[in-house]
Structure 1
């Protein structure tokens, strides 16, 4: 199903049209206001995560390691299929049971509430690689990866974020509950339950259970952060060579299918985030397709082959045609 122009195009309010047009790449000189609390928290997360990796290799029970891997996938699906493809881009529709499930999974990832996540991501697409982009890659790898969370938001992010229409997010009872109670609900889902389960069900120690889960959490975080950093700096650009977002097969494995970023920025409303997902592993697309077969997801939006090929020929770097030729030889 190809969405209408209204689905594809961003609708700017009258107030937005009066704002200065931002053209990427753009990063005006700015004074960073450091949030020291966030820096301390991130340092702890990573120290605990590294220790958790050590414990996972030397002391943890197999059930604890397997549980952490499952929790990683649960949290990742909550972000990729939930806060990203469903709620940020509305690339498909979900029944209430699936919405509830994805909200719970997204809470396990502990990447703020869906409302917070979707607001930042919609800004990212509307103003990609400019000062209104929350994790503007023009400011370098560290800033786009994690540095943007260690400083106060740029004034352009704050100003333009207030103009976004998020009525669909705040009108959703599951997302409203999560956002309202995020201060306790998300930590329970992300930290408390994954720690208690190994202790209660198979007698894992608190130290091992806690730190192995911290390792899982840090991996979830950094996999998502890599899309903001690596996927905006390195890779090939089959669909639009004039923008920073690029394709990365390796990154797609780590993020369950989110590494084909050049395609995603050209066709953000396509639920697949990759037109060749049927020919290579894209777990999130497979999950959405499974949900569609079960009657839990519907109205899946896709770009037509003609639209994709036309755009690739018009603005791509030529790698799309090479890719298609290689596939045709294989089949």
Structure 2
């Protein structure tokens, strides 16, 4: 999706094909955008993402049986990691970088970038760019997770298929020069894969094992797999449930709604 260096979107030192969508294969690369045609829609499915997300959720279900066997500190640590990752998305990628709702000095931006890597929901640049597209082209084919395509698509299905051509074409027209000008955003994107391995999986797993003697098995499945899966689904509910269930006190003709349960989970 990123265009030339003079266009809104090209990161100086990161190829677009290296983009990660929620820890999975980019829906922009490996075959191009969604291509409706004689073969039907099956050719647009990113099977690697389907398999990985299925395995992740199976791992999360298995993690539930480990909860009674884990130390209380491990469960508290998993919840702390959940909160930290949520801040990286809500206070970081969403409010600070997507909407510019407030200004943050370098130490806070670094902290939020680290927390954002723990969330593993795309790097700050891609998350913010897609979120701006979501607002500008809400509920059209240029919306990355268009709610008009149904609950499943807006929740997780958009990660299972190639991007609609409108998402790519209109996304190139977005002004993201402010994101490109932030060294924290650029560095996080450049080292995103490494930062995700460390912050989303290694640190959550190793801290309980090293500090209070939790088993690596329990640490990995509870503080990494289960926590990450819950974080993803809470974030996805903003795209799906919050566009279908809840009240609309200001405009009855739009799909986004106020959903207290989703808001509570998303922090």
- TM-score between the two structures when normalised by the length of structure 2: 0.83
Aligned to 1:265: none
**Cα contact 1:110–1:187 (8 A) shared by 2:** no
Aligned to 1:46: 57
Residue-by-residue CA offset, 1:74-119 (whole Å, 9 max, x unaligned): 0001100100011000011111111111111111101010001001
Residue 107 (1) aligns with residue 117 (2)? yes
Q: Which of 68, 75, 89 pairs up with 2:85? A: 75
Matching of residues 1-331 of structure 1 within 5 Å: 30=36, 32=41, 33-56=44-67, 58-212=68-222, 213-256=224-267
Residue-by-residue CA offset, 1:192-219 (whole Å, 9 max, x unaligned): 1100111111111111111102100011
Aligned mates of 1:140, 1:254 — CA distance in 2: 22
Which portions of structure 1, spanning 4 or more consecutive aligned residues, are displaced by more than 2 angstroms? 29-32
Unaligned runs of 5+ in 1: 1-12, 14-28, 257-331
Larger Rg belongs to: 1
Unaligned runs of 5+ in 2: 1-7, 9-34
**Cα contact 1:119–1:161 (8 A) shared by 2:** yes
Partner SS, residue 255 of structure 2: coil
Aligned mates of 1:42, 1:237 — CA distance in 2: 32
The structural deviation recorded for 1:161 is 1.1
Q: Say how many residue pairs are matched.
A: 228
Aligned mates of 2:252, 2:229 — CA distance in 1: 32
Aligned mates of 2:150, 2:261 — CA distance in 1: 21
Q: CA RMSD in A?
A: 1.4
The structural deviation recorded for 1:187 is 2.0
The structural deviation recorded for 1:132 is 0.1
